[in-house]
Copies of this chain bind each other. A is one copy, B any other.
């Protein structure tokens, strides 16, 4: 069945051979690299019985699996159902939203296990993996899912795989700089996941600017049931965000505290989002776009500080502000970005991830700088910020400065990386669709 081709140049979106080749070659590469590098960590290895004795653990329940596995599964749902369904709001791009998100995330987690493994779990030539690595791989891919939101409907699956390859790599480098070199705290990833992921994606979509995109304007909207599918994504992200922000925090109080702070921030965010969604429309009606997205900004904005002593009250304030900023962004900034800066941001990730991510980084820096031994307790203070070894003498205000530096580094990595990767994706070999065929599943899917 021939699709008519209008004014835009005819583009070759034929995926047979190209897509299979990329998928298969890359999977073979993964197999080889896993074969050479990846081993089970001590807690997943059959030698655990001996290990347990050596570590003086009295029970199997002390295995890290039981501290983190429930959170891992929640995060897993956020990546695959949360992000996947959040993007199904387009009337004719549901397969692409869920399906390509599935594809890029499935590849990304493998590559992330390697990249993050080399940086953080490398011992005697081997990457030792356990449940925490699985969570971190999901986190890393989360930043790719965010960037995907900016270019949704405008790229081929090959472009997405190429972007994933590069973005996971850059993410891991940035994460290493922040966590290891700057010794920055960012358990929920306001900086490493959201700020980096969003500005990376926004830069990529800027480079891939399509001047004739209004040719597919009619397909950029939603229909009634596609908006309900998107609410499945929204709610799973919203509900499980406490798990996201607490998944890799220290055992005990830190995980507990992260979950509470995030719960509070998200609850407040819903109210301010609803308020501004109604207030900013002449007719005073609520807009599903805001409800689907801005209600989540509260989770992003406490990503750095949730495990600190932000307090429930502080969380409500941060959540309230981020809901307002995000909703205002959808109403005013997104049109501005598109018309003036030529940034076509399909899902409005600037409002959901970029600005709240910056807020999150700043709140984290302030919360760290304001930390006192009185509030944290002597031991708690050292443990919360890991002020041991080389960092024994670091003070809260210096830590705050490093936290702020982490924001800047993430932004620079995102802009530079996004520009380079955008340039690569602009090459005319990846099979993206012409402007009039964007936001249309029929291009890459049997419909």
Given known contacts A46-B376, A313-B31, A260 and B80 CB-to-CB distance under 8 angstroms: no
Task: Choose the segment among A126-134, A334-342, A390-398 that binds chain B (4+ C-beta atoms closer than 8 Å).
Answer: A126-134
Q: Does A350 contact B (CB under 8 A)?
A: no
Q: Tell me whether A15 and B48 are in contact (CB under 8 A).
A: no
- How long is the Cα–Cα vector from A286 to B98 in the complex, in angstroms? 13
Residues from 380 to 428 in A contacting B, C-beta threshold 8 Å: 380-381, 383-384
Residue of B nearest to A77 (CB): B239
Q: Does A270 contact B (CB under 8 A)?
A: yes
Q: Does A9 contact B (CB under 8 A)?
A: no
- How long is the Cα–Cα vector from A85 to B230 in the complex, in angstroms? 12
Q: Tell me whether B102 and A60 are in contact (CB under 8 A).
A: no
Task: Choose the segment among A18-26, A147-155, A182-190, A204-212 that binds chain B (4+ C-beta atoms closer than 8 Å).
Answer: A18-26
Q: Tell me whether A286 and B224 are in contact (CB under 8 A).
A: no
Q: Does A320 contact B (CB under 8 A)?
A: yes
- How long is the Cα–Cα vector from A260 to B137 in the complex, in angstroms? 12
Contacts of A134 in B (CB 8 A): 259-260, 263
Residue of B nearest to A431 (CB): B284
Q: Does A95 contact B (CB under 8 A)?
A: yes
Binding site secondary structure of chain A: helix
Q: Does A110 contact B (CB under 8 A)?
A: yes
Mark each residue of chain A from 55 to 97: 1 if its CB lies under 8 Å from any CB of chain B, else 0: 0001111111111011101101100110011001000001100
| 5 A–B contacts from the bound complex (CB under 8 Å) | A60-B67, A65-B252, A225-B229, A228-B229, A285-B445
Chain A interface (Cβ within 8 Å of chain B)? Answer: 14-17, 19-21, 23-24, 26-27, 30-31, 34-35, 38-40, 43-50, 52, 58-67, 69-71, 73-74, 76-77, 80-81, 84-85, 88, 94-95, 98-99, 102-103, 106-107, 109-110, 113, 129-131, 134, 157, 224-225, 227-229, 231-232, 235-236, 238-240, 242-243, 251-257, 259-260, 263-264, 266-272, 274-276, 278-279, 281-288, 291, 295, 309, 311-313, 316-317, 320, 375-377, 379-381, 383-384, 444-447
